A and B are shown apart, each in its own frame.
Chain A
Amino acid sequence: EAQVTQNPRYLITVTGKKLTVTCSQNMNHEYMSWYRQDPGLGLRQIYYSMNVEVTDKGDVPEGYKVSRKEKRNFPLILESPSPNQTSLYFCASSFLTGVEKLFFGSGTQLSVL
């Protein structure tokens, strides 16, 4: 089944404790992206990648890191989480042409205390 697998679904952590949210897709998509969703703000892009070893900042990259060592994986790293990073996070992927729909993971609800 074609899917984007995102883990974990829920995560509670404390300020400053490094964490990684994993994202993997099985559709051979070149394009992968991370979004955060906050009430009243919709979804905002954090980072994206057009291919292996190619990553770039989105609208709200501060406090986040990503890597794309393999085509299928695109982990999101929070080196020193802060409470303002409490949010719902989505990974998404697609082929490179703009008309292609994004496939979304099931989301990760992160709470930073």
Chain B
Amino acid sequence: AQTVTQSQPEMSVQEAETVTLSCTYDTSESDYYLFWYKQPPSRQMILVIRQEAYKQQNATENRFSVNFQKAAKSFSLKISDSQLGDAAMYFCAYRSAGTASKLTFGTGTRLQVTL
């Protein structure tokens, strides 16, 4: 079974600075997808970014980018130019390729953004 580990329960960053949230996973599969979801205080689950394992290029969405290291099974999220609205719980998630399967989530990292 796949597992996803987020070792940082809480992180803090100053507005306009850069922060990196770490995520590691364990799998024996070669083809899969990785996701970062954001959960603000509204509880809504918002997809931030996704990465397909067969793609070597790291995914980027505006101020959000990932550092995907397949051999190390690492999938960190970098947030540049942090904004107050980035304050939220961030979940890393894994999903097997092919026919839909469950999303396996990490335990989350709570990000605080300070002035």
Contacts and interface: CB of A to CB of B under 8 A. Distances in A.
Interface of A: 30-31, 33, 35, 40-45, 48, 50, 58-59, 88, 90, 92, 94-102, 104, 106-107, 109
Contacts of B52: 99
B43, B99, B107 interface centre (most CB from chain A within 10 Å): B43
Contact of A104 (B44, B50, B104): B44
A63 B37 CA distance: 27
Q: 9 shortest A-B CB distances, which residue pairs?
A: A104-B45, A31-B100, A42-B105, A42-B107, A43-B105, A107-B43, A96-B100, A45-B102, A98-B97
Contacts of B33: 98-99
A109 B43 CA distance: 10
Contacts of B104: 45
How many B residues are at the interface, by size bracket? Answer: 20 to 34
8 contacts: A30-B100, A35-B105, A42-B107, A50-B99, A97-B100, A98-B96, A99-B52, A107-B43
Given A42-B91, A45-B102, A99 B108 contact: no
Given A59-B102, A98-B96, 8 more contacts: A40-B9, A43-B103, A50-B100, A88-B43, A96-B100, A98-B97, A101-B50, A102-B103
Contacts of A43: 91, 103, 105
Interface string B1-25: 0001010010000000000000000
Nearest to A49: B100
